[in-house]
């Protein structure tokens, strides 16, 4: 019994030391200040207070505890630091119960609450009822549970990547805007505050935008084209007058041409008599109509009841009490527009005698053509099209022969109804000279109208009357018409008198949230519309504003009191919600226009909106130059277009060149998901509503993003989102160093699957292992430090799956698809004598050749985002298609791409040092390497270095990175430049250069300029501590780091887009590391992005890349590597990429440590060069390429993809078997792996399993970890 008690005590002590259990008699107190990061001193006074912990255990009672609080001693802080449970996986409610105990909750309990409110989209009432019955100690009221859930959600950090579509990028070409009746309580004291400029609707008369200027005449034309309703006497007289004016020269030529064109298809004819006959033509038309009438039933019997609605959308159209067309409802059935016009008789009856009544092809081409050109405004018809080419077509029709115009009609293809008309009547146009000239004249006037309206807008915006009113339309368009950046907006905002009054970016001030889109322009408002809106009474106050004459596309809104009008959602075609705005008054197209201007530096190519016609008219009179410059088109989404009677210009099917394949119903799909939250949100106050809505939108997006990256996108049931979230969206755990999930932040920039555990890494730096002598790596060290040297990250962090585990969240299955031809000699060391020549220059800014451009395009074309492109890079990162897509357009760069390039910069420096040493060993007779001798000695940290050094703004933790420089082979006494890329607020990359040679710090921010986050101060402190720790205090005093000059590199290139900060950082570091001036510009960024793609795929910066034209065109998406397929067979027709360089073994050949010429490894295993690879594990399922040797001669070490043909491609599950066939002792290798201690992190605690839950830190937003999918 005593022996058992002793063992139990030992077990308890062990569990307590390991952090799995806690002694509740100890005081729970925070170690660091959550605001400034200062550590609690040994003499700091701690105030003790009672607390109670509610656990998630079904039958365990609540635990009593003692918590402590203390005041921060830092002079600039002095805040009271209360216990928030961050280090203990607890959540502090910051409230006391009736017994004056602080209420604490386990994060697993809050995960349950999260699953009810967010995942299941249910109410707090249901959650309270369930938790009260499921958890014994849970005895809270519904009101308290709602407050608890709100406090929990407020601590979530929403990463910007969760609201950015990987396919659309930061500047989507298509967006869908739509309002949703998802409101909350509407107190009178809530008023959204935004900084905007007054840009009202300018006085540009509607008739000046039309070919036919008379509004009554346009109404008569519309009635003729759309219905068979009898024309009024006034309308008949107007049509007769228009007909008579066709020969009057005083009438504008375009309007005369329009009259002849209209009466060609709808002749004037004569007024029908009372009997209804007016001549032979009318009699024949009446006869045809009677003959086509359906037979009348003459049999008796019971009449069948008519089923309301219909089988098609047209049959379901109804009229509301105002005569508007709506989809569904109890109103009368609307007259079918398709057939109604055919029944017209008498004046302007269709010309069926020439174009038969049943010739649907002809009439369906005539009606929208005449409607758009004669009855509506023609502005915007050729917006975003080549207007010069349209004029060429029009002038060719007017001035040249019959067949000449056919050769230049490509410009008309983008406008569906124009292309349909000229295509349907091409032969008639050729035969009828007058008709051809008329069509050409009308099209020419429509194209010239754009220039005329531009002049009219400029005149109205700059008029004295407008300027005297303080309207800023002209100034706004001039200043913000380009592609401004968030920095431009912040500089403007800082100049405003009210800049410091509010936190304008807070969602609780503006009541809008766009996680991935910072403001780039001020909003716009319409002071005149606000004055008119005050005069609205009754139900009219809930109607949208009219946009000029003939605006029939009006809409009404909810008239219920006490609730807001809902939200304005902005969605991409892939159903990723980019952001939303809470509506406190009726939806306005002015707000939709303001959102587009505020959030998108490069405006979308097409804006889909349910009242796009109104949006276009509103924008035309307010900020027309901006939309013209960006080529923006406003088009109706398909679900709403059927109820609209506006111009065909706004119909999606008339612009298939821009809308084909675009899911215009994406907003409706998003609404169908979010509608489940309506019940719970309706009872919330606006601030509480925003908290829940933000997290709900984020979770919807994360689910969709996971499906976009998944190989099986259709299978979304029971998919754990936490692994995907931590790998693709979150840079780090917001809990910091005390969280056990910190071990999954790999030094190589990748993130292993936190739901799977692997005891062995899949691969490390291949070239690094081949040149271990240059790095002074002891053969007894494990692969962790070797991989860490590539990026200067923490080698002590267990990789737990390493680089290859990148695909673990959705591992590829056989056959494996590659974006790079496997078996291609990427490093010039695959056989024969490699050509010499290395490049020690920054990335070329010369445009890619056609073959290079085709190769870069083929890397991602037709492939899924999760497909592997580079299995294991020098950084130990598995690059996938989604990573390379970030190197296109203006997308942000993630840690994987950044760290992969960082590894190449460090590798180039090591090769250059080896070449210098090799030349020095040869003595005076040796030839120094060209370019290598002038290369500065540099070292570049990975992106996680600063994140670990300063986990929170202002915090500093040297102990956390104490070994990073040592393990990364940073020699402080043998280095000129130390680079540190820093991510500010998880949204912006900057670069700090510690210039040891010139004794100064260089700070480079391509967007904002100044060091607003005090990054240099922290790195200055780190360098001082690093020198003292490694070189001694005396050397640190000689260095005098505190006295070094800090230079803000304001003269270096500035970015003018919103997403290329990471590219600017890497390009600047590349230039400095090669000793070249930092002289690239924004115009060079597209080429630099492509050059980075080639460098990452080839995994080298020192080689001359050469891409050969393929023998036969083939897409990389068509290549599938099967186990029984040779690499040579899979390479047929693919572009080849060659790198003209010397092998690293030749450069560093005698400087290996623990390996001979035949062994290509660093001594970690006893395998010869034939093995070449190893350490793969079936859990990661990463493909490895094994060299197939046919001779007994020593074989050079090569990387997994840098192998000479022939090669054998095997799955990860078969690696052990294949390696065994090559003579590698599997048992010995496994034993070596165990000796390295790679299995230590298998002891995963419940606390680590809950590390993706909820945390809190003194009111600071922290980890969005409750996406565990529980």
Q: Convert the pLDDT of each residue in 952-996 to its tens digit.
A: 777 888 988 999 998 888 999 999 999 999 998 888 899 999 999
Cis bond before residue 80 (omega within 30° of 0): no
**Could you read off the pLDDT of 197-245 as tens digits, one per residue?**
999 999 999 888 999 999 999 999 999 998 888 899 999 999 999 998 8
Predicted confidence at residue 1108, as pLDDT, reads: 55
List helix spans (H) across 922-1043.
944-949, 964-967, 1015-1031, 1033-1039
Task: Pick out the chain residues at pLDDT < 50.
Answer: 272-301, 303-307, 338, 559, 742-836, 928, 1109-1270
Residues 6+ apart with CB under 8 A from 1208: 1126, 1185, 1186, 1188, 1218
Pairing verdict, β 102-106 and 90-96: antiparallel
Bridge partners for 580 per DSSP? 513, 569
Residue 586's nearest CA partner among 554, 542, 551 is 542
Residues 6+ apart with CB under 8 A from 1266: 110, 111, 114, 118, 152, 156, 1252, 1253, 1254
Predicted confidence at residue 325, as pLDDT, reads: 78
CA distances from 606 to 172, 579, 655, 904 (A): 9, 17, 10, 40
List helix spans (H) across 37-86.
none
Contact 254, 435 (CB under 8 A): no
Tell me the domains of the chain and their CATH numbers.
24-154 (no CATH), 163-202+509-532+555-703 (no CATH), 206-277+313-459 (no CATH), 747-921+931-935+1074-1125+1139-1234 (no CATH), 937-1058 (3.30.310.130)
CA distances from 307 to 301, 702, 815 (A): 18, 43, 53
Cis bond before residue 730 (omega within 30° of 0): no
Pairing verdict, β 174-180 and 606-609: parallel
Q: How far apart are CA 242 and CA 270, in angstroms?
A: 15
Structure token pair of residue 46:
């701690």
Q: Give 352-381 as a DSSP string.
A: TTTS-TT-HHHHHHHHHHHIIIIIS--TTT
Residues 6+ apart with CB under 8 A from 833: none
Predicted confidence at residue 336, as pLDDT, reads: 59
Predicted confidence at residue 114, as pLDDT, reads: 92
> Cα 42–44–46 angle (5° rounding)?
115
List helix spans (H) across 1053-1132.
1061-1073, 1085-1098, 1127-1130
**Long-range contacts made by residues 94-98, C-beta under 8 angstroms, separation at least 24?**
94/151, 95/147, 97/52
Residue 58 burial class via C-beta count within 10 angstroms: exposed 0-12, middle 13-18, buried 19 and up: exposed
Bridge partners for 984 per DSSP? 988
List phi, psi (to 5°) of 701. Answer: -65, -40
The model's pTM? 0.74
Predicted confidence at residue 707, as pLDDT, reads: 87
Q: How far apart are CA 1260 and CA 1266, in angstroms?
A: 16
Residues 6+ apart with CB under 8 A from 192: 509, 510, 511, 512, 582, 584
Residue 1063's nearest CA partner among 1096, 1086, 1095 is 1086
CA distances from 1008 to 6, 660, 1013, 1206 (A): 63, 39, 11, 52
In 3-state terms, what secondary structure has residue 580? strand
Predicted confidence at residue 1056, as pLDDT, reads: 87
* Residue 171 CB neighbours (<10 A): 19
Q: How far apart are CA 89 and CA 573, in angstroms?
A: 39
């Amino acid at each position: 019994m005593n022996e058992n008690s002793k063992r139990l005590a030992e077990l308890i002590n062990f569990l307590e030391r390991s952090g799995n259990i806690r002694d509740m008699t100890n005081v729970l107190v925070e170690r660091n200040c959550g605001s400034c990061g200062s550590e609690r001193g040994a003499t700091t006074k701690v105030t003790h207070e009672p607390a109670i912990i509610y656990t998630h255990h079904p039958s365990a009672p609540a635990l009593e505890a003692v918590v402590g609080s203390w005041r921060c001693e830092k002079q600039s802080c002095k805040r009271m630091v209360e216990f928030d449970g961050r280090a203990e996986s607890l959540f502090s409610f910051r409230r006391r119960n009736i017994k004056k105990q602080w209420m604490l909750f386990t994060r697993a309990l809050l995960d349950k609450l999260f699953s009810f409110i967010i995942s299941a989209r249910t109410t707090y009432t249901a959650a309270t009822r369930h938790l009260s019955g499921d958890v014994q100690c849970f005895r809270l009221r519904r009101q308290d549970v709602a407050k608890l859930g709100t406090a929990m959600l407020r601590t979530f950090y929403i990463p910007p990547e969760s609201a950015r579509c990987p396919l659309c990028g930061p500047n989507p070409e298509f967006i869908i805007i739509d309002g949703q009746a998802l409101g909350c309580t509407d107190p009178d004291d809530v008023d959204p505050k935004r900084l905007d400029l007054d840009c009202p609707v300018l006085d540009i008369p509607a008739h000046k935008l039309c070919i036919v200027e008379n509004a009554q005449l346009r109404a008569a034309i519309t009635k003729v084209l759309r219905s068979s309703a009898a024309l009024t006497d006034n309308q008949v007289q107007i049509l007769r007058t228009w007909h008579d004016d066709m020969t009057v020269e005083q009438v504008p030529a375009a309007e005369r041409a329009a009259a002849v064109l209209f009466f060609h298809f709808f002749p004037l004819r004569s007024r029908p008599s009372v009997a209804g006959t007016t001549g032979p033509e009318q009699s024949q038309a009446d006869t045809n109509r009677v003959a086509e009438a359906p037979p009348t039933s003459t049999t008796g019997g019971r009449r069948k009841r008519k089923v309301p609605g219909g089988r098609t959308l047209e049959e379901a159209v109804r009229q509301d009490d105002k005569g508007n067309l709506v989809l569904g409802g109890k109103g009368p059935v609307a007259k079918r527009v398709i057939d109604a016009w055919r029944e017209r008789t008498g004046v302007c009856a269709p010309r069926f005698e020439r174009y038969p009544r049943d010739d649907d092809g002809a009439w369906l081409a005539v009606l929208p053509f005449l409607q758009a050109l004669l009855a509506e405004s023609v502005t915007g018809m050729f917006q975003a099209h080549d207007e010069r080419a349209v004029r060429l077509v029009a002038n060719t029709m007017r001035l040249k022969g019959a067949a000449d115009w056919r050769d230049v009609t490509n410009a008309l293809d983008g406008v569906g109804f124009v292309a349909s008309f000229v295509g349907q009547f091409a032969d008639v146009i050729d035969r009828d000279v007058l008709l051809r000239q008329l069509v050409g004249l009308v099209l020419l006037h429509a194209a010239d109208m754009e220039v005329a309206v531009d002049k009219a807008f400029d005149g109205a915006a700059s008029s004295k009357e407008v300027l005297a009113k303080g309207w800023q339309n002209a100034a706004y368009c001039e200043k913000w018409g380009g592609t401004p950046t968030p920095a431009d907006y912040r500089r403007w905002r800082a100049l405003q008198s009210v800049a410091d009054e509010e936190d304008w970016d807070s969602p609780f001030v503006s009541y809008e949230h766009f996680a991935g889109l910072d403001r780039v322009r001020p909003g716009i408002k319409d002071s005149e519309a606000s004055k008119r809106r005050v005069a609205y009474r009754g139900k009219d106050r809930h109607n949208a504003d009219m946009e000029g004459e003939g605006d029939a596309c009006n809409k009404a809104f909810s008239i219920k009191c006490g609730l807001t009008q809902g939200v304005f959602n902005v969605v991409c075609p892939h159903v990723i919600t980019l952001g939303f705005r809470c509506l406190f008054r009726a939806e306005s197209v002015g707000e939709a226009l303001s959102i587009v201007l505020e959030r998108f530096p490069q405006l979308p190519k097409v804006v889909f909106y349910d009242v796009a016609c109104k949006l276009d008219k509103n924008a035309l009179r307010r900020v027309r130059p901006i939309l013209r410059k960006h080529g923006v088109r406003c088009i109706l989404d398909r679900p709403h277009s059927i109820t609209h009677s506006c111009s065909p210009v706004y119909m999606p099917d008339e612009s298939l060149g821009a809308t084909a394949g675009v899911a215009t119903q994406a907003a409706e799909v998003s609404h169908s998901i979010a509608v489940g939250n309506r019940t719970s949100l309706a009872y919330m106050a606006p601030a509480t509503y925003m908290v829940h809505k933000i997290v709900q939108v984020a979770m919807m997006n994360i689910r969709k993003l996971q499906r976009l990256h998944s190989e099986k996108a259709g299978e979304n049931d029971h998919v754990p989102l936490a692994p995907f979230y931590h790998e693709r969206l979150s840079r780090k755990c917001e809990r910091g160093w005390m969280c056990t999930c910190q071990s999954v932040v790999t030094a190589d920039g990748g993130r292993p699957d936190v739901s799977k555990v692997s005891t062995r890494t899949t691969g490390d730096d291949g070239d690094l292992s081949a040149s271990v002598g240059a790095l002074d790596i002891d053969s007894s060290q494990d692969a962790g430090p070797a991989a860490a040297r590539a990026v200067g990250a923490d080698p002590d962090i267990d990789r737990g799956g390493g680089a290859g585990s990148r695909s673990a969240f959705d591992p590829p299955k056989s056959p494996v698809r590659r974006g790079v031809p496997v078996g291609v000699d990427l490093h010039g060391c695959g056989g024969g004598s490699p050509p010499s020549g290395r490049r020690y220059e920054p990335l070329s800014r010369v445009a890619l050749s056609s073959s290079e451009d085709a190769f870069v395009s083929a890397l991602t074309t037709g492939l899924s985002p999760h497909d592997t492109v580079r299995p294991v890079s020098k950084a130990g990162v598995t690059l996938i298609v989604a990573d390379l897509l970030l190197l296109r357009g203006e997308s942000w760069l993630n840690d994987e791409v950044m760290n992969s390039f960082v590894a190449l910069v460090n590798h180039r420096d090591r090769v250059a040092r080896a070449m210098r040493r090799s030349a020095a060993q040869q003595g005076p007779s040796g030839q120094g390497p060209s370019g290598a001798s002038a290369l500065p000695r540099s070292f570049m940290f990975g992106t996680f270095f600063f994140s670990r050094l300063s986990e929170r703004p202002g915090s500093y933790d040297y102990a956390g990175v104490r070994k990073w420089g040592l393990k990364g082979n940073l020699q402080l006494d043998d280095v000129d430049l130390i680079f540190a890329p820093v991510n500010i607020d998880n949204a912006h990359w900057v670069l700090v250069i510690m210039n040891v040679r010139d004794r100064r710090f260089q700070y480079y921010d391509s967007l904002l300029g100044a060091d607003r986050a005090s990054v240099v101060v922290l790195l200055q402190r780190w360098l001082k501590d690093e020198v003292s720790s490694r070189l001694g205090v005396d050397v640190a005093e000689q260095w005098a780091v505190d006295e070094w000059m800090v230079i803000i590199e304001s003269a270096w290139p500035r970015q003018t887009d919103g997403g290329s900060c990471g590219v600017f950082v890497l390009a600047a570091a590349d230039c400095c590391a090669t000793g070249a001036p930092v002289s690239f510009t924004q115009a060079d960024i597209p080429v630099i992005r492509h050059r980075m793609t080639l460098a990452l795929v080839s995994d080298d910066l020192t080689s001359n890349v050469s891409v050969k034209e393929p023998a036969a065109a083939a897409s990389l998406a068509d290549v599938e590597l099967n186990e029984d397929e040779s690499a040579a067979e899979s390479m047929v027709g693919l572009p080849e990429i060659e790198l003209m360089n010397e092998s690293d073994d030749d450069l560093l050949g005698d400087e290996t440590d623990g390996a001979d010429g035949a062994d290509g490894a660093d001594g970690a295993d006893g395998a010869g060069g034939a093995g070449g690879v190893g350490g793969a594990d079936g859990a990661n399922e990463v493909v490895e390429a094994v060299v197939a040797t046919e001779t007994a001669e020593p074989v050079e070490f090569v990387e997994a993809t840098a192998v000479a043909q022939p090669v054998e491609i095997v799955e990860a599950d078969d690696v052990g078997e294949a390696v065994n066939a090559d003579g590698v002792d599997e048992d010995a290798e496994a034993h070596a792996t165990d000796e390295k201690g790679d299995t230590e992190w298998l002891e995963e605690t419940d606390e680590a399993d809950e590390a993706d839950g909820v945390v809190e830190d003194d009111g600071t937003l922290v980890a969005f970890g409750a996406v565990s999918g529980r």
